[in-house]
Chains A and B, each alone.
Chain A
């Protein structure tokens, strides 16, 4: 039975563009059960994506601190060095500026490197290579020198790691033309965006989140496919709603959904948008939602000034959705301080579910 079902699955597999519904339709004729979704942590989803892309394209390789023999500081690259060896999985010394430049140069010369920052805080040491060497070269060379490199690693706050290890770089990298910047929340996001980033011919900054690595999500069969990609530049509506639009990225998406679950009991239906990509930002999806709900709240972990939320508010003001706002747009962000260590202080430096609920009620005047 399973073999027959498997054969039929292979027969009808048509790639990510094909809707799941069609396959369901065809298969239910054989055994009539739901497709085999599984629970996969973000960590494992990233690991799968790395494995699949390394296998698919000889030019792809991974470099960074502890990525090989240690299996990755956060075990994202577990098992890969054993499978692919020294040539494809490279442990670097603690030399961010140096190895980031090496990754960028390798990309210029035709390879497709994945450059891991143990956290994005350390990318600041190498930021010149990311922005000036990777981000701008295609433009300066009038298209002659593409730079197909992926910079990835955990971004933003973790748990009790202190000020120097908690900064969010979404606004910093999102500011720069020439780069693409993605920020996954779920396992589906993580897998699909990493694969899409590796296959993209441009420098992509992928901002993961350490606290999400261990979180399991359901991954449908379609998502489990080796060809599943999440398109860069397209947001996802995680929850449909009519009263207020909550726009977020990364870990905050989960908090928005939690807030929505509480608010629904009071009759408030929140639409939750998962940005998935910071740059190029899918403003159209936000606008369409605001036209529907008339209220906008942005939620992020980064600092307020010159942040992702600030950009969204500015863009909404410039576009057709402004006339549909019944109240000023609201931003929820990290507190405007370096991240403190003590748990009670740290907790209060990030937007919590209660803050989102409070903001929704404020904006809806209830």
Chain B
């Protein structure tokens, strides 16, 4: 199926071919408002899919907590490296 030609800027990430990835990244809006809108779009997408729905289970909250756990582990990894069991991996 031949869709009408959509410019790189407006394509969603999953529709971008692998070779077009750098140009897609370059075409994104990195101004202050652009970054803010990007965060807001992500927030809205996540919340409208997993939290502001009719039968929201533990999934939305659990995903957020998992992300927080992974993020805090990443931030404290340089300290946790000192508690390793083996020296050579």
A-B interaction: no
Q: Residues of B with Cβ closer than 8 Å to A?
A: none
